[in-house]
Amino acid sequence: GKPICQCNSCYGGDDCSILLPDCAVDAHSGNPRFLEPYWRKNAASSTVVVAGWHRLGYTYEDDSYMSRELGNVIQKLHAVVGNANTTGKYILFGAGATQLLNAAIMSLSQPPSQHSNDGGNCLLRTNVVASAPFYPVCKMQTEMYNSLNFKWRGDPSSWKNKSDSSENFIEVVTSPSNPEGKLKDPVLKGASVKTIYDYAYYWPHYTGISSPANTDLMIFTLSKLTGHGGSRFGWAFVKDKAVYERMAHYLEVNSVGASQDAQLRALVLLRTVLKDDGREFFGFGHKTLRERLVKLNRSLSKSKRFSLQKLSPHNCSFFNQVTDPSPAYGWVKCVREEDRDCAAVLKSAGILGKKGSYFSADDKYVRLNLIGNQDDFDLLLRRMDTLVSQE
C-alpha cells in the first residue's frame, strides 16, 4: 500500500524503506523532529480536536489575547523544570521566538537622539549586537526594518570598553547558543545596555539546568521545547512594566495577539509533558541527544581532518545530577588549511550542513543538525564514518 505519511529525506518506496542512491542527507535545517517517538507514544493525551463552533472571535472571555490557563501551565512548567524564575514578571505570547525577539528589539530601542557635540548632525540609533557565532534572525530583522531607532552593529566585543558612552545598546544573548550549545553571558554591561535573553535551548534535553534564569527579558519557544516549530508559539517574561506594555502594543499592532489554535495546542502538549513532572519527556529528549553526540564524537575522534566543539558537563537541578553535553547542533571545524569551505567538503560526501558564515563565523565551520529524525541522524553518522575512513 501507499505510505501513510511522508518518507524521511533520502528514503522512498511504498513503506519508506528504500535508501535513495546519491541522496544528500539533510543536516542543514534546525528541524526538531527528534521528539517524534515521544509524541507517538503519547498520542492519546496530546491530540487536539477542535469543533468548528469553538472560539469564534479574537479574544478570550477576559478580553485578552492570551489564555490564562496556558499562562498558568507555562509558569508551572518553569517551576518544575527550574529553568526560569517567573515571579513578578509579565508574560506575553507571540508567533514563536522570532516575533518576540523583534517585539523586544522594537520596545527596547530608543528614538534617535541628537549627538550634542557634532552640531546635531548625527542621529544616534540604538546599536543591536550579538557575539558570533550567532543565529541570525535578529540581524535579519534589524537590517530588514532599517529603522531610524535601531541598527545592526555586529559583534559587541568592539564596544566592550566604550559602553559607558552616549550610545545605547541592545545585546541579544542566546544561551545555550545556536550553533555551539554554550551557556553565554552578555559581553556588554552598564546603564546604556539592555539585554535580551533568548532561552530557546535552555531546557534539560539540551543542557544541564544549573539555576533558574532570572533576567529582565527572557524569551522561550515551543519550537525547540516540544518540537512543534510549525505551531509558531513562544512566550516572553518581562520585568519592566513599560517594556512589557510596549511589547504588548507591538504584538497587538503586528498580529492582534497570538493564534488561539496555537495556544490550545500548546496547552494540550504542555499538559502532557507535565503529567509526570516532565520526567519521561525530558528524560527521552536528553538521552536521545546525548547518544547522538557520543556517536558523532566517536566517529570524529578518529579524524585528523574534522573536529567538534567541546562542551562541559553541567550540574542539572532537574535531573538532580551532573549531565553530560547534549547539544542541538554539531559545530564541526575543518582543520586542514586547504578545507576553507567546510560545508562544501561535507556536501561532496553527501552531507548537507549550514555554512559557518550564516552564523557570522568562518566557513571553516559548519553546523550539523542533531535534533532531526533518527533516520537522518543515522545516515549522517554513516556518511561521516565513511568520510573519516577515507582520510
What does the binding site for ligand PMP look like in residue numbers (CB under 6 A)?
30, 96-98, 135, 137, 174, 178, 198, 200, 221, 223, 229, 234
Q: Which residues of 355-366 are buried (b: 16+ CB within 10 A; e: fewer)?
A: bbbbbbbbbbbb
Compute the least distance from the CB of residue 23 to ligand PMP, in Å: 24
Q: Give least dist CB 97 to ligand PMP, A.
A: 4
Give 103 or 346: the residue with its C-beta nearer to ligand PMP. Answer: 103
**Is the Cβ of residue 98 or residue 131 nearer to ligand PMP in the bound state?**
98
* Nearer Cβ to ligand PMP (73/200): 200
Nearer to ligand PMP, 266 or 387 (CB): 266
Phi-psi region of 24 (alpha: psi -120 to 50; beta: other; left: phi over 0): beta
From residue 137, alpha-carbon distances to 105, 113, 209, 350 in Å are 12, 26, 25, 27
Q: Nearest distance from residue 224's CB to ligand PMP, in Å? A: 6
- Name the 3-class secondary structure at 75: helix
Residue pair 255/234 in contact (Cβ under 8 Å)? The answer is: no
Q: How far is the CB of 108 from ligand PMP (least distance, A)?
A: 17
3-state secondary structure of 331: strand
What are the beta bridge partners of residue 26? 352
What is the smallest separation between the CB atom of 232 and ligand PMP, expressed in angstroms? 7
For residue 173, give the C-alpha cell: 544573548
- We find the least distance from the C-beta atom of residue 267 to ligand PMP, in angstroms, to be 17
How many of the other CB atoms lie within 10 Å of CB of 185?
9
Q: Find cell 532537574 and name the residue.
A: 318
Q: Are 218 and 101 in contact (CB under 8 A)?
A: no
State the cell numbers at 314. 553541567
Which of residues 273 and 387 has its CB atom nearest to ligand PMP in the complex? 273
| Helical H segments across 199-278, by residue range | 222-226, 241-255, 260-274
Q: Which is nearer to ligand PMP, 178 or 263 (by Cβ)? A: 178
Q: Which is nearer to ligand PMP, 169 or 197 (CB)?
A: 197
- Minimum separation from the CB atom of position 28 to ligand PMP (A): 12
Q: How many CA atoms lie within 13 A of 122 on its CB side?
A: 10
Q: Which residue's C-beta sits nearest to ligand PMP? A: 96
